[in-house]
Every structure is written in C-alpha cells, then in structure tokens.
Structure 1
Amino acid sequence: MAVLSWPIALHFFRMNKKRQVAVLALFLSVLFSLYLVPLGMYSPCIKEAGTLGPAPTLIGHRGAPMQLAPENTVMSFEKAVEAGGEGLETDVTVFDGVPFLMHDSTLKRTTNVAEVFPNRTDFDASMFTWAELQQLNAGDWFLSRDPFGTVSSLSAVDRSQAQNQSIPSLAQFLEVAARSGRLVLFDLRRPPHGHPYSRSYINTTLQVVQTHINSSQLQVLWLPSEGRDLVQAVDPDLQQTSGEKASIQELTDGHITRLNLHYSSMSQQQIKYRSVNISTNLYVISQPWLYTLAWCAGAQSVTTNSIHILSNINQPLFLMTPEEYSLMWILTDVVSAVLITAIFIFHWRERGLPFWSGSRQTHENGPYSKFRTLSDVWSISSVTVRPDLRSMPNSPSTPHLPTIT
C-alpha cells in the first residue's frame, strides 16, 4: 500500500483544490476497501483433485443450544437429532447414585436455583440430591436471557416446551441417543473432596452406560481420562477417547480410538492418525468457514452449536487445487505490477514529463530538472556576503559585485 501511496501523495500537493478533493476521495475509498477485504476472505482448502475426504459428522454440543433449545435438556438433544446431528455431547455429574447432566460447577446459570434454594446458589451442583434437582426449571432461563438472540424465532409450541424443561439424568440422555441411533460423547466431572461418591462415581456412571449399551447397542465415546484402564477392562466395547495429543504408539497402547481436541489443534496430522484407525473430533466449531477447514484437515467429526447450519454445507467454501492457488497469486502479482506502473505513468505525465525521460528534460540552455532547479535556487539564496566587501568602494582592482536580492 505504501508503494501505491507515495507517488499519489507527491502529485497531490501540486493539484488545485477540486482535483485534490477528487483524488483524496478516490484514494480513501480504495484504502477503505483494502481494509475490508480480509473480512470476506477465508483460508482456502488446498487439496489435490479427488483427495478430499468425507464431510465431518456433526455432534451436538450439549444438544443444539445456539438457536433451538436450552442446553443439556431432553428438548435440546431431540432438536439436535432433528437438525441432522449424528452424535450428542454432554457433561455428567453424580450425587446420590444418579448421574445427571450439568456443564457448570454450579446451577446458577442454567436453572432457577436462586428462587428455589436461595441459600444454596453457590453450592456445587453435585451437592444436590436427585429429588432436589427435579424441583428446578432448566429452560426458563433460555427464554428470559435469550443468550443467542434467537428466542423470537421459536414457535409458540417450542417456547412452551422450552419453558418446562428439567435437568435430565444420564439415563434419560442415553435413551434419546438410543432411540435415534446417535453416538454419545460425554465428559465426567469428579465430585469434590468429601463427596459420598468421590471414589465410586466412575463405577456408578459406568453401570448406567452398560445398561443402555446392552439393551440397544449404543455407541459411546468414553472421554474421562481417570480410571481409563479400569473402564477398558470392565467394558472393552466403549470407544476410548482422549482429550490430549500423543504419539501413535502411546495412543494405541492406551486403546484410544478417537481424539477430542480443540479446533486450534487442527492440522494435517489428523490424516496421519486416521491411517491407524484413530479418528479426530474437533470442538467447538459453529462457523461454516471453520467447519470447512476442519473438513480439509481430515477431521472425522466436529462438536458444534449449529448443526442446523453446518448440515447444509455440501463442500468446503473455498476449495482449490495447489495449481489453482498458485495461479491466483500469480495473477494478483501481475495485476498489482500493472497498477503500480500505471500510477507512475500518470504521475510523470501530469508533470508534463515523458515517462521514458526520467526526471530530466532538455532545456534550451542545457539539461533541465525541476528538482535540480529548486535545489540551485536554495543554494544561491543561502549565500552569505562578507560585510567588508559590501561597503568597499568600487575600484579598478575591485570588481563590481552585483546586488543579490
């Protein structure tokens, strides 16, 4: 941009006011456009023809909370299935032998606990009995706070249903997944120290999962890292899922079949993992451009808040071969070079100089340069005459000094 700016700026100060305004308006318009261009650009998916894999499957993040329903409710998971999600993700907490769904450590954000139990608002979610949890409303907050600005788009039936949601148990969640044939991914929060299930929470959760797997062949991705060897020994059919990168040898030794990674870990390494039957899930991806990058990187699935949007994407937004990518930048460089050359030609012609003659022009008294003339005038005007020479009378031996004005 600086290369384009300086010849225009040099010529700008030689123009009359009207032309200055016109050129300034044009220059600022181009500059503003260049600043806005990156907002509409996305990283391209560069792939050789025929090497792009299938689109990543979609796993509903706590169901489908972005627009359709309050998170971690039966309604939310059902909406995720209706929107085309092939998997469901959640977080599990345990108290009196009943694993239930809750992402936060407390109940403040997603329930009306402040109304029902005002003195226990800051209590850990695992310190409430199942009977107490069933007294709470887990959907009304979604309608009143409108976290995504989408409540107005819900139908009257959906609003009524959202308003009457409660905290679901893990068993209820697994039933929704089993009915729809969706895979399940969940993390497990360890109860605080001194909790009655602080040592047995893994076995308690595993028993619920096994019951539903045996009755429906449910596909469960087991994410908790604690007690993984025990879980693998008790139920080898669970798909062991890790939230950390490791070498292929370490992953295979730990019976890991899937990685669950933040989207910032996206790289072509996913393709290497896939070669040894270790798939990759990236979270949380809700924008179409980011989804297509995950697709290009070889991810097998993504956890998302916007299943209803991503399910309509049939190919990456900006897909091109390496040859097309190179051609795009070559053409960009050529156009830039032509534009810069045109600006220089315009600048020199406006000064009345042929472009090919450079900064010097033939004058009747010899070579002439505007820049040189200005510097010569400055040199003459800065001459200092000795005072004694100014007052000296003219004599035959003293040449007459012209007056410099």
Structure 2
Amino acid sequence: MSHNNSCCRFCCRGLYSCNWGDSSKSKRKCGCCWFSVVTLMSLLSLCWMYICLVTFNDREDVNWQGFTQLKRWVNWFMVLIIISAVFTSYCVLLLLFALFQVALGEQLDLHWLHKIFLFFGVIFLTFGVTGISVKWAQEWPAVLLSLQATGPFLQFGAVGALTLLSSFVFQGFHRAKIGHKFLIAVVFLVVSAAIFLCPLFIRSPCLIDPKDLPEKPKLIGHRGAPMLAPENTMMSFHRSIACNVTAFETDVQLSKDRIPFLMHDNKSEFLLRTTNVKEKFPKKKFNHSTDLTLEELQSLNAGEWFLKTDPFRSVSQLSEEEKETARNQTIPSLLQLLNLAKQHNISVIFDLKSSNLENDTVDTVDTILKSGIDPSLVLWLPPREREYVNMAAPGFTQVYDNKKDMLNKSGSHLNVKYSSLSTKKISELRRNNVTVNLWVVNERWLFSLLWCVGASSVTTNSCHLLKDVHQPDWVLPHHRYTIIWISVDIASILIMIGICIFHWKTHRCCRREEMQRNNPSSWNEKELHPFLPTGQFDGHQRL
C-alpha cells in the first residue's frame, strides 16, 4: 500500500469523509468550516454530558414530570443519559478522526451523512437546554454548585487535553498561511491563558485543611430507604434504621375516616404509581385521599410496583426473602411510623398534603400527641396552621422551608433544596447556629461537597451508600492545591515548548527537502558557494 494510501490514512479518510480514495483539494475551504463545526459540537456535547451527570442526583424529578404527563412510570432520565452518551461519543470520535487527518496532511471533507447527524445533534442539544430552562430551571444552580466540587479536576483535565492537542495546533500552524498563522496563534494563546489561570477563580469549600473539616452531616431517610424497599412503607423505614438515620422523612394525607396515612402522590396521580389501585378498583378513579377509608387503602398492594418498575435499578441487590417482603407491603398509617420512631428514638419530619389543611392539621397533631412519642422528635414542617401547632404542641421542633420565614419567626431549623442556597450562605447560617437540612442528596460527590460546607444533615434516597462515606471524596489545603496547579501548568508549558520546537525543526527539514527536489541544481550551488549569488558560475565552473 502506498504512502498516500496507508492503513491509517485509509481508515481516517473513510470514516470521516466516506472517501476511500485520494481526497479532493477542491473542498478544502468548506472542509475547514465543517472541522470547526465538529470541534464546537464536541465541546458542546461534552458540556451537555457533564450537565446530565451532575443532574443525575435529581433524576427522579425528571421521571416524575414524565409520570404526571403520561400517568406511566418510565425511567426517562436513563433514556436521556444513553442518548447523550452515544451522541457525545460520536462527536468526540469524529473530532479525533479529523485531527488524525490534519496530522496526516489529508483534506477535511466531511461526509453528508455526518452533517445530517450533527444537525440532529444541534436540535437535540437545543431541546435539552430549553427543556431544563423552562421545566427544570432549578437545576442550573446545581450545575454551578457542582463546579465547586469538580473545578480543580476539570482544570487539570483541560491542561492535559490542551497539551495533547497542541501537537495538532502547531502542525496546522506551520502549514497555514501568514494571516491564518496569526489567527491560530492568538486563539491558542487566549485559550491557553484562560485554562492556565482559571484556578485563580476556583472557590471550593473542600480547599481547606483536613483538621478544619466540619462534622459529617446526619442522614434523614427520604420516605425511608427507597432504593432498598418500596417508598413510604414500613419495610422502607425499617431498612433506613440500619443506615443510622436520625430522622424519617415522609408525606402524610388523611383518609375518609380521618386517619393520617403515608403517601406522597396526590391529586390526579393519587395511588397510581405506587399501588395496584387500577387492578383493585378498575372502574373507579380516585383524586383525593378522602375518597377511601384506611381499611380500603390498606387493602391495596404498595410493594409490587417496586419490583416491576425497579425505579433505582436496585432490586437485583435484594435477596429472594427481601423481594417477597417487598411484594407484600401495604400503605402504613402515621401511627405505625410514630411507634417505630418512638421505639428507636428517631425523629419524624413530614409534609402534609391536603386541600383541607386546617382540619387535617388538627387531626394529625392529635394523632401525634396520642402516640406518646417525645414531642422533641417531631420536626413540624407544614407552614400553614403553624400558630395552632405551637399552641397545641409547643414541644414540636419547628422547621421552616425558607430562610425569610425562619428569620421572621426567630426559628433555628431550615429545610431546603440543596441548590437553593449558596455554599457561602450555608456556612454563614451554620456559624449562626442554624440547623440546615438539605434535600434530596443522593450522589457521593454532592454529599462530600455539602460535608465540606458544614451542612447539618441531608435527606437522601441512598442512605445505605452515604452511611459508608467516612470522609469527603477530596479535601486539600489551599496552599498545596496552589503548588499542584502551578506545577501542572509549568510542566504543560515546557512540554508544549518541546513539541513546538520539534514541529518547527520537522517543518524546516521538510521545506529543505522539498526545495532540493524542486530545484536540485540551485540547491547544490548554494550549498557549495553560499556567499556567491546563484548563476555566477557557468556550467564548467560549477563542475
């Protein structure tokens, strides 16, 4: 196989342009434009993939949105992750093929099929970003928060990528025209400066001395341990006890006979997701908790759905005995949970989901007081009818869902979404002796970051995983990070200087060989008589 049709050239040319023969020079300008498009799409797809991985902590929110619209539980977020991963891999591989073609001196003629795929990719990314901005806007603060955990490592990765790609940049620089050389140099220097100096703007709470690390946040079981058992069932709360949770988090509604029971879904989604209500009452539709008595509610199966849908892909971790227990779960009453909490000295925090909050508050408080549980173990969260609760049960711990109400009521317990407060604000509240609980925290990286911040506790679906986290994923003194950062930057600069010199010398040698091939007589004359003008000697003198 000839030099122009070597195996590497053949494969790169074929996979990028579907042109298995020699490339055409007539498409050079268009090819460079499409190379820019491929580069941009690769960067955008990597950013999108990062967003997907960060928001994986809140994947159930996406699945819940899908359920409210379709009334059918599907793991939509996993579908999104798979599509995003495939598209990102495709763009990155396409960029690598293009870079290899640049290194081999091949023309960049992107095939029309790749152009169509890139067009659909633009549509996919546009819909994705628009969907987050319109339907899931609260996730953007979470993405910014994640940069405090990943920023130092993203910078190291960017330096490494820049160092590797510099070889292609220098090679293209030497081959470019004068005007293009200036543009390449300016863009490369600006990008390099931004990457090398961005640690000046990185502020991470984990850049602290290990001895200053706050106490590990306590764990609150979100509807029990929903990764190990059906949510809001007694099995789920029993499983969370093994995780050393300090509180049970749940949702309370009242039945037709005025008995508080545990259920999250309400209104049009009531009972559809987590019970077999369609099978038990095929001709009826229930939109309110007061449509059924507690006896009717407890006749429903509240565990079979967990085994069928496997919402957290965790059913395979259960033994056959545990699966059988899950299969036979029913809807528990609030009193059952209170008795379990009293037995193990565990707190209870809950939302009260009802349209008749005044009467429901009275009946719920009455049930709690009759249970005999220590009032200090009850963390009262529902904001309405708080004045009545303070009078009827002054021993309850009042928890607020926003900072303004807490300050107005001189409270000291706050329960908010983890992304609704900045790390600086969380640390400030903790210094003022405010107990801050953040929900819902499932991923280890997020738990580690909030540990560094000093969060009091987190509500989690994955208590069985977080209980085994004995220290944050990384903690580094700031001065040590500065040394590492500067060392990495200097090493990268030295390597790139070496690569630049190598390409410069290689380019000079290639030019010399080309000149010698094109005009060997003139080359030899200059080599023999470098101080005399070419053509001064006649043919006999040169011989």
What is the TM-score of this pair, normalised by structure 2?
0.56
Hey, what's the Cα distance between the residues in 2 that align with 1:7 and 1:286?
44
Per the alignment, in what secondary structure is the counterpart of residue 220 of structure 2?
Answer: strand
Q: Report deviation, 1:281.
A: 0.6
Cα shift readout 1:257-295 (whole Å, capped 9, x = no counterpart): 211111112412222222333110111111111101111
Relative to structure 1, the CA distance from residue 202 to residue 255 in structure 2 (aligned partners, 3 Å threshold; closer, same or farther) is farther
Q: Is the Cα contact below 8 Å between 2:209 and 2:475 reproduced in 1?
A: no
Q: Is the Cα contact below 8 Å between 1:107 and 1:121 reproduced in 2?
A: no
Per the alignment, in what secondary structure is the counterpart of residue 272 of structure 1?
Answer: helix
2:442 matched to which residue of 1?
286
1:135 matched to which residue of 2?
299
Hey, what's the Cα distance between the residues in 2 that align with 1:139 and 1:215?
27
Which amino acid counterpart does residue 460 of structure 2 have in structure 1? T
Q: Report deviation, 1:204.
A: 0.7
Per the alignment, in what secondary structure is the counterpart of residue 416 of structure 2?
Answer: strand
Q: Report deviation, 1:108.
A: 0.3
Hey, what's the Cα distance between the residues in 1 that align with 2:506 and 2:263?
72
Q: Is the Cα contact below 8 Å between 2:214 and 2:453 reproduced in 1?
A: no
Q: Report deviation, 1:10.
A: 4.4
Check if 1:50 corresponds to 2:211: yes
Q: Report deviation, 1:226.
A: 0.5
Check if 1:237 corresponds to 2:392: no
> 251, 254, 257: which is aligned to 1:94?
254
Relative to structure 1, the CA distance from residue 298 to residue 44 in structure 2 (aligned partners, 3 Å threshold; closer, same or farther) is closer
Relative to structure 1, the CA distance from residue 216 to residue 241 in structure 2 (aligned partners, 3 Å threshold; closer, same or farther) is closer
Per the alignment, in what secondary structure is the counterpart of residue 283 of structure 2?
Answer: helix
> 223, 233, 237: which is aligned to 2:381?
223
Q: Is the Cα contact below 8 Å between 1:239 and 1:257 reproduced in 2?
A: no
Q: Is the Cα contact below 8 Å between 1:108 and 1:121 reproduced in 2?
A: no
Per the alignment, in what secondary structure is the counterpart of residue 50 of structure 1?
Answer: helix
Q: Is the Cα contact below 8 Å between 1:259 and 1:280 reproduced in 2?
A: yes
Q: Report deviation, 1:49.
A: 4.4
Indicate the structure with greater helix content. 2
Which amino acid counterpart does residue 311 of structure 1 have in structure 2? K
1:204 matched to which residue of 2?
363
Per the alignment, in what secondary structure is the counterpart of residue 109 of structure 1?
Answer: coil
Q: Report deviation, 1:65.
A: 0.7
Per the alignment, in what secondary structure is the counterpart of residue 199 of structure 1?
Answer: helix
Q: Report deviation, 1:207.
A: 1.0
Which amino acid counterpart does residue 172 of structure 2 have in structure 1? A
1:73 matched to which residue of 2?
233
Q: Is the Cα contact below 8 Å between 1:257 and 1:277 reproduced in 2?
A: yes
Relative to structure 1, the CA distance from residue 317 to residue 365 in structure 2 (aligned partners, 3 Å threshold; closer, same or farther) is same
Q: Report deviation, 1:150.
A: 2.0
2:280 matched to which residue of 1?
116
Q: Is the Cα contact below 8 Å between 2:342 and 2:373 reproduced in 1?
A: no
Hey, what's the Cα distance between the residues in 1 that align with 2:205 and 2:171?
34
Relative to structure 1, the CA distance from residue 113 to residue 10 in structure 2 (aligned partners, 3 Å threshold; closer, same or farther) is same
1:295 matched to which residue of 2?
451
1:370 matched to which residue of 2?
none
Q: Report deviation, 1:152.
A: 2.3
What is the TM-score of this pair, normalised by structure 1?
0.74
Q: Is the Cα contact below 8 Å between 1:64 and 1:76 reproduced in 2?
A: yes
Q: Report deviation, 1:222.
A: 0.8
Hey, what's the Cα distance between the residues in 2 that align with 1:44 and 1:225?
32
Cα shift readout 1:287-315 (whole Å, capped 9, x = no counterpart): 11110111111110000011111001111
Check if 1:104 corresponds to 2:265: yes
1:397 matched to which residue of 2?
none
Hey, what's the Cα distance between the residues in 1 that align with 2:491 and 2:290?
64
Q: Report deviation, 1:202.
A: 0.7
Q: Is the Cα contact below 8 Å between 1:184 and 1:219 reproduced in 2?
A: yes
Q: Report deviation, 1:4.
A: 5.1
1:9 matched to which residue of 2?
172
Relative to structure 1, the CA distance from residue 160 to residue 311 in structure 2 (aligned partners, 3 Å threshold; closer, same or farther) is same
1:307 matched to which residue of 2?
463
Which amino acid counterpart does residue 274 of structure 1 have in structure 2? R
> 475, 485, 491: which is aligned to 1:329?
485
The answer to which of 145-154 and 95-104 deviates more is 145-154
Q: Is the Cα contact below 8 Å between 1:183 and 1:221 reproduced in 2?
A: yes
Relative to structure 1, the CA distance from residue 198 to residue 218 in structure 2 (aligned partners, 3 Å threshold; closer, same or farther) is closer
Hey, what's the Cα distance between the residues in 2 that align with 1:200 and 1:366?
109
1:375 matched to which residue of 2?
none
Q: Is the Cα contact below 8 Å between 1:107 and 1:125 reproduced in 2?
A: no
> 305, 314, 326: which is aligned to 1:162?
326
Hey, what's the Cα distance between the residues in 1 that align with 2:303 and 2:320?
14
Per the alignment, in what secondary structure is the counterpart of residue 219 of structure 2?
Answer: strand
1:382 matched to which residue of 2?
none
Hey, what's the Cα distance between the residues in 1 that align with 2:303 and 2:482?
51
Q: Is the Cα contact below 8 Å between 1:89 and 1:185 reproduced in 2?
A: yes
Hey, what's the Cα distance between the residues in 2 that align with 1:203 and 1:8?
77
Relative to structure 1, the CA distance from residue 233 to residue 275 in structure 2 (aligned partners, 3 Å threshold; closer, same or farther) is farther
Q: Which runs of 5+ in 2 are unaligned?
A: 1-161, 177-203, 510-525, 534-543
Question: Runs in 1 of length 4+ with deviation above 6 angstroms?
Answer: none
Per the alignment, in what secondary structure is the counterpart of residue 358 of structure 2?
Answer: coil
Higher relative contact order (CA 8 A, sep 6+): 1
Which amino acid counterpart does residue 170 of structure 2 have in structure 1? P
Q: Is the Cα contact below 8 Å between 2:253 and 2:260 reproduced in 1?
A: yes
Q: Is the Cα contact below 8 Å between 1:239 and 1:256 reproduced in 2?
A: no
Hey, what's the Cα distance between the residues in 2 that align with 1:198 and 1:177?
24
Q: Cα RMSD over matched residues?
A: 2.6
Hey, what's the Cα distance between the residues in 2 that align with 1:237 and 1:366?
105
Q: Is the Cα contact below 8 Å between 2:210 and 2:475 reproduced in 1?
A: no
Aligned residues between the structures = 322
Q: Is the Cα contact below 8 Å between 1:59 and 1:303 reproduced in 2?
A: yes
1:83 matched to which residue of 2?
243
Which amino acid counterpart does residue 338 of structure 1 have in structure 2? L
Q: Report deviation, 1:165.
A: 0.7
Per the alignment, in what secondary structure is the counterpart of residue 302 of structure 1?
Answer: strand
Q: Is the Cα contact below 8 Å between 2:335 and 2:367 reproduced in 1?
A: yes
Q: Report deviation, 1:144.
A: 1.6
Which amino acid counterpart does residue 9 of structure 1 have in structure 2? G
Hey, what's the Cα distance between the residues in 2 that align with 1:159 and 1:12?
66
Per the alignment, in what secondary structure is the counterpart of residue 265 of structure 1?
Answer: coil
1:33-48 matches, cutoff 5 A:
45-48=206-209
Which amino acid counterpart does residue 188 of structure 1 have in structure 2? L
Hey, what's the Cα distance between the residues in 2 that align with 1:252 and 1:258?
10
Q: Is the Cα contact below 8 Å between 1:243 and 1:261 reproduced in 2?
A: yes
Q: Is the Cα contact below 8 Å between 1:45 and 1:318 reproduced in 2?
A: yes
1:37 matched to which residue of 2?
none
Q: Is the Cα contact below 8 Å between 1:83 and 1:311 reproduced in 2?
A: yes
